[in-house]
Chain A
Amino acid sequence: MSEAKTKQQGAVQTTGHAWDGDIQEFNNPLPRWWLWGFYASVVFAVLYWVIYPAWPVGKGYTTGLFNNITYTVNGEERSRHWNTRSLLVKDMQTGDEALKTKEYMQKVAAADYRQILADPDMMAFVRSVTKGLFGDNCAACHGSGGAGVMGLFPNLADDDWLWGGSVEDIQNTITLGHTGYMPGFARTFSDEQLDDVAHFVLSLSGHEVPADKVARGKQLFTGEGGGCYYCHTAAGTGMKSQGSANLTDNIWTIADVQGQTELTGKVDAVKTVIRNGVNRVMPTWQGRLDENQIKLLSVYVHELGGGQ
């Protein structure tokens, strides 16, 4: 130990101070590679200050040597110094991805729905691009495959449509949103009456239910007391303009009739909906998505399963 110490002490000097009597510090020179690396980074920093925006000066800042981020706003070309926001505008306009997408977007924008649906090339584009759009914006409620959530959010993959299933109807729904409303009948109908109406509703879709209840239910359904027929029509087929459900097709989105095996369970499911009503909101998307995105989504939703 002491031998090694003496040997090194001969080679390099110490810093000259001693702690606790004999603890000394060697004054070794810095390694060459490190020193040159340090000088290089100093030079780099100075170059960086000159080329890129760097130092605050007064109420502004140095903007760097170049003014070379160029993009177009309202047909007029603008050049800005290097900054991430200008880079983004440029990237969204003339980046590789943007140009590739734009080419197809223009084709889709120019075509009408019939042409898009008939063109396999455009449909391939719709499927690949819109899968992401659907995932970001629609899947939270309607599920990533469009199957919806029983009782809460409609299934987009079947061919039953509350607000219409043509591409134009779907576009309308996405653009403006909807408020699906059915009043609760807890105060209008007694429990027995709710039971009768529920039986009648189930009879519409071919369920075998006692005829006397159906007869009484039908009277309530088509009578002025409940007025169910205002929205669902006397035949129970629903109205597109009201978003009222077709009760005759045995496709259920709010009352989980198919999930019940026993008739009493099915009746209870329907009764609960009649008693409590429905209040659902599909938000409007016109501020968030642009026209072409909505167009793509309309085609995509139409193609999920049951477009009309």
Chain B
Amino acid sequence: MKFKHESIEINAGLLIALTMVVISIGGLVEIVPLYYINDTIEQVDGVRPYTPLELRGRDIYQREGCYLCHSQMIRPFRDEMLRYGHYSLAAESQYDHPFQWGSKRTGPDLARVGEKYSNEWHVAHLSDPRAVVPESIMPGYPWLMQPLEYADVGDRMRALKFTGVPYSETQQEYDANVTKFGQGVADSLNILRAEKNLVQQAQTGNYDGDRARLTEMDALVAYLQMLGTLVDFSKYDEGYFAEFR
């Protein structure tokens, strides 16, 4: 039978279906191979999922819309490397759901802000940016000093586990994490100990400068202070990560 364009044009349902097929081809061709090509995620040591406290900090980062002005993606260009440090790796955001790469930089990129400034600086800066950087146009976030709600942190981890992040609930999952990340990290990924771990990290880290209280500032600063610090780039030569592209 001869193909007739008219048969598509007069059938709205068919037209919609075929339009979607044609449009999705472009996306599928670009995205799907990344799931099975060997080199998509670089082989690198040190990357792990977030601890419960960092995870709460990340949630606050998203709640406050930090990503609207700050990217977390250092591109492989000379000027970016000189300013921000080593370019971001796919491996470094493999446990991010959703990722925070972004493309809008009203403020600087934050992919490697971890350990760059002191906790005191972050607290002072988040509370009132112009108190430390007079030329800053960032809004202040003084309400981060409110108590952190963390009773639901286990559920938040379970939700991420559903998307493939290796948080553990059973002994078997825990053992797998010990093999993959080592004992210390595996403990921090244990959902059953999440609340205890969260409080403990906030106490030890003392991110907001007051051990007596557990605030949202603790969580957010803990998150900011680990960003981009998991991979030790001195262990890899200049050309190593280029081999994956």
Contacts and interface: CB of A to CB of B under 8 A. Distances in A.
Partners in one complex: yes
Interface of A: 17, 56, 59-61, 71, 73-74, 78, 80, 83-89, 91-92, 95, 97-98, 132, 136-137, 139-141, 143-144, 149, 152-153, 279-283, 287-288
A136 B116 CA distance: 10
Nearest to A63: B245
B242 A89 contact: yes
A98 B242 contact: no
Interface string B216-245: 000000000000000000100111011111
Nearest to A152: B124
Contacts of A86: 239, 242, 245
Interface residues of B, number: 42
Given A56-B37, A98-B78, A143-B134, 12 more contacts: A74-B237, A83-B245, A86-B245, A88-B76, A88-B81, A97-B78, A140-B117, A152-B121, A153-B132, A281-B119, A287-B234, A288-B85
Contacts of B117: 140-141, 283
Contacts of A152: 120-121, 124, 132
B33 interface: yes
Contacts of B33: 56, 61
B83 interface: yes
Nearest to B9: A17
30 contacts: A59-B37, A60-B38, A71-B238, A73-B239, A80-B242, A84-B75, A84-B245, A85-B87, A85-B242, A85-B245, A87-B76, A88-B77, A88-B242, A89-B238, A89-B239, A97-B78, A132-B83, A136-B84, A137-B116, A139-B133, A140-B125, A149-B131, A152-B121, A153-B121, A153-B132, A281-B118, A282-B118, A283-B116, A283-B118, A288-B112
Given A61-B33, A98-B78, A136 B120 contact: no
B83 A73 contact: no
Contacts of A140: 116-117, 121, 125, 132-133
Contacts of B83: 132, 136
Contact of A73 (B9, B115, B135, B238): B238
Contact of B121 (A17, A61, A92, A141): A141
B245 to A, nearest CB: 4
Nearest to A97: B78
Nearest to A69: B242
A144 B36 contact: no
Nearest to B123: A152
B6 interface: yes
Contacts of A141: 117-118, 121, 132
A139 B9 CA distance: 63
Nearest to B118: A281
Contacts of B36: 59
Contacts of A144: 135
A56 B6 CA distance: 36
A89 B239 CA distance: 7
Contacts of A71: 238-239
Which of B87, B112, B135, B245 has most A Cβ within 10 Å? B245
A87 B241 CA distance: 12
B82 interface: yes
A265 to B, nearest CB: 20
Contacts of A88: 76-78, 81, 87, 242
Q: Which 10 A-B residue pairs are closest in the complex by CB-CB distance?
A: A56-B33, A281-B118, A85-B242, A83-B245, A73-B239, A88-B76, A86-B242, A84-B76, A59-B38, A85-B245
Contact of A92 (B81, B112, B243): B81
A143 B75 CA distance: 27
Contact of B78 (A80, A95, A137, A287): A95
Nearest to B33: A56
Given A61-B33, A143-B134, A280-B118, A83 B78 contact: no
